[in-house]
Amino acid sequence: MTAPATPLMSLTWTDHVTGRHGYLVVDRLVRGVSSGGLRMRQGCTLDEVAGLARGMTMKEALHYNPQGRYIPLGGAKGGIDCDPQDPQAYGVLVRYLRAMRPYIESFWTTGEDLGLTQDLVDRAAEEAGLVSSIQAVYPLLDDETAARRRLADAFAVDVDGIGLDELVGGCGVAESVLAALDRAGVPYEGTRVSVQGLGTMGGATARFLARAGLRVVAVADVKGTVANPEGLDVDALLAARDAYGTVDRSALREADRELPGDAWLSADAEVLVPAAVSYAVDAANQEQITARWIVEAANMPVLPEAEELLARRGITVLPDVVVNSGTNAWWWWTLFGDIDANADEAFAYTRRSMRALIDQMLARAEADGTTPRAAAHAIVADRLPVIAERFGWYR
């Protein structure tokens, strides 16, 4: 059975204190459970959340490994229409989670996404009376105590001052870039990268790519773009971030330049990594892009019309559903026991899985004569009925 075009359920919540809206979309269940983060941003819409929930269904299915302990869940997503830096934001978050409590307790596992950190989600979830933001999956575990301990231990792992949970996603994005370069026979050394967003995803992606020898020539955050054709000091920028991923400009070196917010897009670079907001690349601004690859660390950063125009110009978009799927998969690999609470093991497993997925997707795109996104969708379409057949929608 294939997934219906409309989500299993979608709802709009209104905060009785501020009048702000929040959304929950459950695209699909597998064994009665779904997975998908919670984002908070001014202007967040139900449509956006529905698109993200569908993307989660795909990410879960793409990581299906019949030999693995982790069995894919369904896809879901939450969204709150509020600026995360608004003084009322935390109260809105707690009330949203309180309202969503029955869903989180029974079938929606969630975590951090744009605008929220896992620490904040955990703190607000506790205040809302939840055991954990992923408690709905506990009944599916063989040994719940050991599994929860393993995940808690993994969250406590810190690498160079950054939590492992904030690095695995970017490790997967970086590996996607490297796999594409390898396939095209392009050396890492000197390949230039421009990144939009230096938060969890963008920051970690920049870190892993710089370590692989690529030159990060531009990064944008909410305050604008910083650039240096000779390469930015990525570690210094990461250390100068606040909790929202905004870089303190006093950390810039003399040769670094401050440019307008959209300058990351037209940077002279081979690889663009949008790692901030959805809909960043549209039909109009795609004209400024000269890169050869756009690697979607963010969810839905490239609009379909833009992707079509980019494809005509020979620019390849590696799609979000594959590229940024590492964080979600890492949670489950760890919880279900495919890997231990160990950074080296997590990075190695993430790299191996992401490379296999990227290779499979690019090979399929070549064979079918389609875009990588169409190829990823085709792989998902093959896989969803297999998962539904084996595990069912409801437990």
Ligand X SMILES: NC(=O)c1ccc[n+]([C@@H]2O[C@H](COP(=O)([O-])OP(=O)(O)OC[C@H]3O[C@@H](n4cnc5c(N)ncnc54)[C@H](O)[C@@H]3O)[C@@H](O)[C@H]2O)c1
Q: Name the site residues for ligand X (rule: CB under 6 A).
A: 39, 112-115, 169, 196-202, 220-222, 244-246, 261, 275-278, 297-299, 324, 327
Distance CA 390, CA 71 (A): 10
- Closer residue to ligand X in complex, CB, 328/371: 328
Give me the residue whose beta carbon is nearest to ligand X.
199
How big is the chain by its Cα radius of gyration, in Å? 20
- Closer residue to ligand X in complex, CB, 27/388: 27
**Cβ neighbours for 363, distance < 8 A, ≥ 6 positions apart:** none
CB of 5 to ligand X, least distance (A): 22
Catalytic residue among 77, 150, 207, 292: 77
CB of 94 to ligand X, least distance (A): 19
- Closer residue to ligand X in complex, CB, 112/388: 112
Strands 215-221 and 224-227: antiparallel
For helices 168-184 and 343-368, give the axis angle rounded to 10 degrees. 40
Structure tokens at 65: 């490994």
Three-state secondary structure of 317-335: EECHHHHCCHHHHHHHHHH
CB of 60 to ligand X, least distance (A): 13
Distance CA 333, CA 349 (A): 9
- Closer residue to ligand X in complex, CB, 193/388: 193
- Closer residue to ligand X in complex, CB, 34/299: 299
Strand stretches in the chain, DSSP E: 9-14, 21-26, 34-35, 38-41, 74-81, 108-109, 158-159, 162-163, 192-196, 215-221, 224-227, 257-259, 271-274, 293-295, 316-318
CB of 141 to ligand X, least distance (A): 21
Check if 223 is active-site: no
- Active-site residue list: 77
